[in-house]
């Protein structure tokens, strides 16, 4: 399950919510959100403030971030939208928890 979330504040420190198994991806500085992953079948609840994303919505989010602040590849060149979409797919396939 792909989730958009914000950090929790515990004793004055920002921490990744406990219901995110793997997170911190695709930070969007304008609204302080991140993308993370959690199992689709679980024994705990996910807050209603967390937004469930499809793979396409996740790719669109990353392209939106790229439009605000272009990503640079290992050769120092600005990445294309196609490269950014591929990066989103790679991130999802490596981290999504069914």
pTM for this entry: 0.85
Residue 66 contacts residue 23 (beta carbons within 8 Å): no
Q: What's the rounded Cα separation, in Å, for the pair 14 and 89?
A: 28
The pLDDT of residue 3 is 95
> Residues of the chain whose pLDDT is less than 70?
98
Please, which residues bridge with residue 37 across strands?
Answer: 2, 22
The pLDDT of residue 98 is 65
The pLDDT of residue 40 is 86
Q: Which two tokens stand for residue 73?
A: 């590849």
The pLDDT of residue 53 is 95
């Amino acid at each position: 399950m792909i989730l958009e979330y914000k950090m929790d504040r515990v004793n004055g420190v920002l921490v990744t919510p406990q219901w995110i198994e793997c997170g911190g991806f695709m930070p969007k500085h304008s609204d302080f959100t991140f993308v993370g992953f959690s199992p689709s079948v679980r024994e705990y609840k996910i807050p209603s403030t967390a937004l469930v994303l499809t793979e396409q919505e996740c790719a669109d989010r990353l392209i939106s971030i790229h439009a605000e602040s272009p990503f640079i590849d290992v050769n120092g060149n600005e990445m294309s939208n196609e490269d950014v979409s591929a990066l989103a797919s790679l991130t999802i396939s490596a981290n999504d928890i069914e």
